[in-house]
Chains A and B, each alone.
Chain A
Amino acid sequence: MVNRSTCAYCGVGCGIEIHTNSDGSTSVKGDFEHPANFGKLCSKGSSLAHTLTGEGRLLHPKIHGLRASWEQATHYVASEFTRIIDEHGPQAVAFYVSGQLLTEDYYVANKLMKGFIGSANIDTNSRLCMSSAVAAYKRAFGEDSVPASYEDLEIADLIVLTGSNTAWCHPILFQRIKSAKAARPQMKVVVIDPRRTATCEIADLHLAIKPGTDVALFNGLLNHLQASGKTDAQYIQQHCEGFEAAMASARQAGDIQQVATLCDLPASDVAEFYQWFADTERTLTCFSQGINQSSQGTDKGNAIINCHLATGRVGKPGASPFSLTGQPNAMGGREVGGLANQLAAHMEFNPQDLKQVSEFWQAPNIARTPGLKAVDLFDAVAAGTVKAVWVMGTNPAVSLPNAGKVVQALQQAELLVVSDCIETTDTSTYAQVLLPAAGWGEKDGTVTNSERRISRQKGALEPLGEARQDWRILTDVAAAMGFAEHFPYTTAADVFREHARLTRLNRHSPRKLDLGNLAELSEQQYDELAPVQWPVLDNMDSQRLYGDGHFSTDSGKARFVAVAYSGVSHPVSPDWPLALNTGRIRDQWHTMTRTALAPPLNAHKPEPFVEIHPDTAADMGLEDQKLARIQSPWGSAILRVNVTDSLRRGELFVPMHWNDQWARGARIGELVNPAVDPISGQPESKHTPCRIEPWHPQWSAVMLSRDNLPIPDCDYAAKIRGKHFYRYELAGDATATDLTAQAQQFADTDAEPSVLYQDPRQPAMRSAWLDAGGLRTCIYIGPGNSGIIANADRNWLSGLFGKPELDAIERKALLSGKSPAGVEDCGRTICACFGVGEKTILKAIREHRLTDAAAVGKLLKAGTNCGSCVSEIKGLLAAN
Chain B
Amino acid sequence: MRHHAVKTESSKPKLVFVGNGMAGTRTLEELLTLTPDKYDISVIGEEHFGNYNRIMLSPVLAGEKTIENIMLNDDEWYRRNNVVFYKGEQAVAIDRVKRQVTTRNGKCIPYDRLVLATGSTPFRIPVPGNDLTNVLTFRDIDDVNNMLQLSRHKQHAAVIGGGLLGLEAANGLRKQGMDVTVVHAYDAILNRQLDKTASRLLQDTLEQKGIRFLMNAATDSIQGNADNEVCGLNFKDGRQLAVDMVVMATGVQPNISLAKSCGLQCDRGILVNDVMQSFDPAIYAVGECVQHRGQLFGLVAPGYDQARVCANHLAELGIARYTQKALATQLKITGIQAFSAGQFDHVPDSEEITFFDGQLGHYKKLVIKDNQLVGAVLYGDTQDGGWFFELIQQQTDISPIRDQLIFGKDFCQWPEQATAPLPAAA
Contacts and interface: CB of A to CB of B under 8 A. Distances in A.
A816 B337 CA distance: 21
A815 B355 contact: yes
Contacts of B70: 871
A759 B408 CA distance: 15
Nearest to A867: B53
Q: Which of B55, B300, B403 has the most CB of A within 10 A?
A: B403
A554 B204 CA distance: 94
A835 B357 contact: no
B300 A832 contact: no
Q: Which of B358, B389, B407 has the most CB of A within 10 A?
A: B407
Nearest to B390: A834
B27 to A, nearest CB: 14
A760 B352 CA distance: 7
Interface in A840-880: 861, 865-868, 870-871
A636 B257 CA distance: 83
Interface in B345-387: 351-360, 362, 368, 381-387
A826 interface: yes
Interface stretch (A17-25, A285-293, A658-666, A749-757): A749-757
Nearest to A837: B383
A829 interface: yes
Interface in A801-834: 811-813, 815-816, 818, 820, 823-824, 826, 829, 831-834
Nearest to B71: A871
Contacts of B355: 755-757, 815
B92 to A, nearest CB: 30
B404 A829 contact: no
Contacts of A829: 337, 382-383
Given A757-B354, A812-B407, A871-B65, A832 B301 contact: no
B344 interface: no
B409 to A, nearest CB: 8
A868 B56 contact: yes
B300 A866 contact: yes
Interface in A169-194: none
B304 interface: yes
A585 interface: no
B205 interface: no
Contact of A866 (B55, B357, B384): B55
Contacts of B56: 868, 871
Q: Which of A758, A788, A818, A832 has the most CB of B within 10 A?
A: A832
B227 interface: no
B287 to A, nearest CB: 14
A811 B411 contact: no
Interface residues of B, number: 43
A562 interface: no
Given A757-B406, A816-B407, A866-B55, A811 B357 contact: yes
A500 B362 CA distance: 73
Contacts of B362: 812
Nearest to A871: B69
A318 B419 CA distance: 63
A861 B385 CA distance: 13
A761 interface: yes
B339 interface: yes
Given A833-B328, A868-B56, A759 B402 contact: yes
A861 B386 CA distance: 10
A867 B382 CA distance: 17
A583 B189 CA distance: 65
Interface string A757-793: 1111100100000100000000000100011100000
Contact of B359 (A770, A786, A813, A818): A770
Nearest to A864: B304
Interface string B387-407: 101000000000000111011
A770 B360 CA distance: 11
Given A756-B356, A760-B351, A865 B304 contact: yes
A866 B301 contact: yes
Contacts of B384: 835
B332 interface: yes
Nearest to A757: B355
B406 A820 contact: no
Contacts of A759: 351, 353, 402-403
A870 B304 CA distance: 15
A517 B402 CA distance: 76
Contacts of A770: 359
Contacts of A820: 410-411
B141 to A, nearest CB: 16
Nearest to B388: A835
Contact of B55 (A788, A824, A868): A868
A754 B358 contact: yes
A832 B337 contact: yes
A833 B411 contact: no
Given A820-B410, A829-B337, A865-B300, A835 B382 contact: yes
B330 interface: yes
Contacts of B72: 867, 870
A870 B300 CA distance: 15
A835 B411 contact: no
A752 B357 CA distance: 11
A489 to B, nearest CB: 61
A2 to B, nearest CB: 49
Nearest to A791: B403
B411 A823 contact: yes
Contacts of B402: 759
Contacts of A834: 386-387
Nearest to A754: B359
Contacts of B301: 833, 865-866
Given A787-B403, A866-B300, A835 B385 contact: yes
A582 to B, nearest CB: 37
A870 B385 CA distance: 18
Interface string B303-323: 010000000000000000000
Interface of A: 752, 754-761, 764, 770, 782, 786-788, 811-813, 815-816, 818, 820, 823-824, 826, 829, 831-837, 861, 865-868, 870-871
Given A757-B356, A787-B403, 10 more contacts: A786-B403, A788-B403, A811-B357, A812-B381, A815-B407, A820-B411, A823-B411, A835-B386, A836-B386, A861-B386
23 contacts: A755-B357, A757-B355, A758-B354, A759-B353, A760-B351, A764-B403, A770-B359, A786-B403, A787-B403, A788-B404, A818-B407, A824-B410, A831-B386, A832-B330, A832-B339, A833-B330, A835-B383, A835-B385, A866-B53, A866-B300, A867-B300, A868-B332, A870-B72
The 3 closest A-B CB pairs, nearest first, are A834-B386, A816-B407, A823-B410
